[in-house]
A = this chain, B = another copy of it.
């Protein structure tokens, strides 16, 4: 565990809160850079300062003043509207980032990280700043998977790895060894929402669960910036879709509000499994 001072740039959602709580708990020095309008109000009670999205000049002032060595970026950030963003905010960095903005969100995040690294800082993943967020090994919550469910889990891992290698997306649903849905740009929640529209012969129901969600990072993803993540909403969506489980590569999935997620999964009869392969 690192003991150098960390700046936590916090977008929206619970993930930055869990990182900040952990840093406080273990006594590591840190400061929170709260992105205005996004950062959770609980973070106002931690040491830190507010920042307008895209104000790189002020960001680097804060990082220098606080004498941090490492930076963690996490939490939800809406894709910025570059045209209306104030041009005096570290304008020398904006051009390269605007250009990256025409690619996917991955390349945008990577570009921001590169600017931060170019100023001499080290990027630390949320899972490095708080390893408790990661999924463990084997069964984490819910019932033991049936042999059929384990077959679906393995097939889902195999397909998700292939989809990721094609740089398409992170998540797939497999039931009865048939791939029901593949996530591309619509995101995991939208993908899960269409399962109930499929042919009933192919899928399960909340009364008779069948099929597994696999969620895997793409090889091109920088896990320090964008680790696959699930939370309570994911478990509820998986349950509504009639699936019986969630599988991920062990130590390669962030679980926001883990205790609550595991309790909900157990209550709904959804297994959560950290797999060795692939």
Residues of A bordering B, CB below 8 Å:
79, 101-104, 159, 162-163, 166-169, 172, 176, 178-182, 184-186, 190, 194, 197-199, 201-202
Contacts and interface: CB of A to CB of B under 8 A. Distances in A.
Contact of A102 (B79, B101, B201): B201
Contact of A162 (B102, B103, B166, B179): B166
Given A162-B162, A162-B166, A190-B194, A202 B180 contact: no
Instruction: Indicate the member of A167, A172, A184, A194 with the most B CB atoms within 10 Å.
Output: A184
Given A176-B102, A179-B167, A184-B182, A79 B201 contact: yes
Please list the 3 inter-chain residue pairs (A to B) with the smallest Cβ-Cβ separation, ordered nearest first. Answer: A182-B182, A168-B179, A180-B185
A181 B184 contact: yes
Copies in the complex: 2
Contacts of A166: 159, 162-163, 179
A129 to B, nearest CB: 28
B179 A185 contact: yes
A76 to B, nearest CB: 14
A181 B167 CA distance: 12
A160 B48 CA distance: 48
Contacts of A182: 163, 168-169, 182, 184
